[in-house]
Structures are given as C-alpha cells and as structure tokens.
Amino acid sequence: MRPLSIAFIILTLALLGYSTYQALLVAPTEQTMGDVQRIFYYHAPTAWVAGLCFFVNFLASIAYLWKRSPDMDALAVASAEVGVVFCTIVLITGPIWARPVWGIWWTWDARLTSTLVLWLIYVSYLILRRYATGGQTQVLAAAVAIFGFVDVPIVYMSIRWFRTQHPSPVIAGGENSGLDPAMWHAFLWNLVAFTCVGIVFVAARYRLQKMENLLEDTHARMALEGSTQ
C-alpha cells in the first residue's frame, strides 16, 4: 500500500477516535431523549455518507456509459456496495433510536420511507450485477443506476406529499427541528470522520475490483494465447 493511503487511514482512525470521544463524552446530554440521542451522531453522518456514495455511483455510471472505462465501472460497484452498507446502518440505527424514545420501532414517515426505498433501489442494482449474464453486465447496471438516482428526488417528493395528506408519527423531531449549537461541534466532527471512513472503504473496494478485473483479463488473454501453442 502506498504511504499516502496508509497516512490517510491513520488520519481517519484518529478522526474517528476524536469524533467518538466528542459524541459520547463531550456533547451535552439531550433534554428529553437522554443519552440515547447520541446515536444521532452516527445515524445522521451515516445517512450523509450513503447519499454521497450513491451520488458517486451515479457519476461513475454516466462516465462508464460515455467512455466504457472499466475503472469507472469498478468505482460504480465500489460506491454502490459501500452505499448500501451505510444505508443499511441508517435503517438499523433509526429503529434502535426510535424504540426507547418514541416507543415504536418503525414509522412510515417521509425520511425513513425514502431511505427504505433508496435502499431497495440500490439493492436491486446489486442483485442485477450478480445475475446478469454475459460481458455487458456493466452497461445494464449503469443504466439502472442512472434511473435509480434520478428517481431519488421524485421518491422523496412523493412520499412527503403522501405524508402531508396522511400524517403519521414523525421520528426525530420532524423536518425542521434545529440542532443545539453545543451539539454542532460533535456532529461536524463525526460528519468529517464518517466521510473519511466512507472514502477509505470505497477506495479499498475500488482497488479490489480493479485487481479482480485485471485477473480476469489476464486469464482471458492467457487462454487465448496459450491455446495457439
């Protein structure tokens, strides 16, 4: 591994350590929810990183369709997988937070439902990648990725409107709840730390995919050349 990568990983670990310290020990305890609220410092940044990953996947998919560069496809796979993992964490930490505070595991409010649909869309993308046959999986997957990402704002708008028509309990203080200034500090540190974690994972998965592609290519070439001996 290159020294720059190692340095970045060490930096990330340091950031994560500091931000965890901030979140668990330094940030003030929330008034009504108590210590459980601290999960917010993981829940929210994780959601942010998931969204970022899916955006990268969108750009990589467009780039792939344009240039047919296998590296772009590798980036698309990497960002989608990491995005789905982070999205899963959001969907798990949400209920963990909701249950002790609001007494319910799940509610079909706008944010949670949109996140669930987002998760469904990208899981279907990953399943397509696994089950497509032939050498053009990448093209098909890239098309689905573009559809999926374009759909995201429409999903959100539609569910929000649905919820204004048919209100239901909202978790985490609704759309416009503010954050106490004392908590911003911890929140921002965690945001930065988690973004770095996301970058590390995507980079690692990207390198892995590139190596797999290289291996496949090499095997194919060997088979072709070896057969004429």
Partner 1 sequence: MVGDNGAGKSTLLRVVAGLSQPSRGSVRLLGGRNARQVAHLIGYMGHAPLLYDELDGMENLRYFAGLYGIADDAVCREAMHRIGLDSTLERRVGQYSQGMRQRLSLARAGLHDPQLMLLDEPFSNVDTHSASYMAGVLGRLRDRGKTIFVVTHQAGLVEHVADEFVHMAEGRIVSRESAKRVSASVAADAGGAG
Partner 2 sequence: MSIKVMRATLLKDLRMEWRSKDAINSMLFFSLLVVVIFSFAFNPTAEQSRLIAGGLIWVAFLFAAVVALTQTWARELSNQVLDAYRVSPAPANALFLAKVLGNFLFVIVLEGLMAPLFVVFYQLRSVGPVWQLILIALFGTWALVVNGTFFAALSIRTRNREIMLPLILFPISIPALLAMVDSTTAILTGESVPDFWIKLLAVYDVVFTSVCLLLFESVLNAE
Contact 115, 89 (CB under 8 A): no
- Backbone dihedral angles phi then psi of residue 30, each to the nearest 5 degrees: -70, 145
- Residue number with CB closer to partner 2 (20 or 107): 107
Among partner 2, partner 1, none, residue 102 binds (CB under 5-8 Å by kind): none
CA Rg value for the chain: 21
Site string for partner 1, 116-145 (x = CB under 8 A): -------------------x----------
Q: How far apart are CA 189 and CA 191, in angstroms?
A: 5
Determine if 220 is a binding residue for partner 2 (CB under 8 A): no
Interface residue with partner 2, options 128, 170, 192, 204 (CB under 8 A): 128
Q: Using N-to-C axis directions, what is the helix angle for 40-67 and 70-102, rounded to 10°? A: 160
Which of 132, 159, 160, 134 is closest to 144 using CA atoms? 132
When asked if residue 227 is in the footprint of partner 1 (CB under 8 A), the reply is yes
Distance, in Å, from the CA atom of 196 to the CA atom of 55, rounded to the nearest integer, reads 16
Gap between the Cα atoms of 167 and 160, Å rounded: 10
Residue 194 binds what, of partner 2, partner 1, none (CB under 5 to 8 Å, by partner type)?
A: none
- Contact status, residue 46 vs residue 89, Cβ threshold 8 Å: yes
Q: What, of partner 2, partner 1, none, does residue 126 touch, CB below 5 to 8 Å by kind? A: none
Whose structure tokens read 């090499």?
218
Classify the C-alpha dihedral 29-32-38-43 as positive or negative.
Answer: negative
Which of the choices partner 2, partner 1, none does residue 228 contact, using the CB cut-off of 5 to 8 A by kind? partner 1
Q: Is 150 in the site for partner 2 (CB under 8 A)?
A: yes
Q: How far is the CB of 227 from partner 1 (least distance, A)?
A: 5
User: 27 vs 77, which CB is nearer to partner 2?
Assistant: 77
Cα distance between residue 198 and residue 141, in whole Å = 22
- Give the residue, chosen from 143, 170, 192, 204, that forms a contact with partner 2 under the rule CB under 8 A: 143
Residue span 156-175 as binding mask against partner 2, x where in contact by CB under 8 A, dash where not: -xxx-xx--x----------
User: Residue 78 — φ and ψ, nearest 5°?
Assistant: -60, -50
Q: Does 224 bind partner 1 (CB under 8 A)?
A: yes
Contact residues toward partner 2 (CB under 8 A) are: 65, 117, 120-121, 124-125, 127-128, 131-136, 139-140, 143-144, 146-148, 150-151, 154-155, 157-159, 161-162, 165
Contact residues toward partner 1 (CB under 8 A) are: 135, 220, 224, 227-228
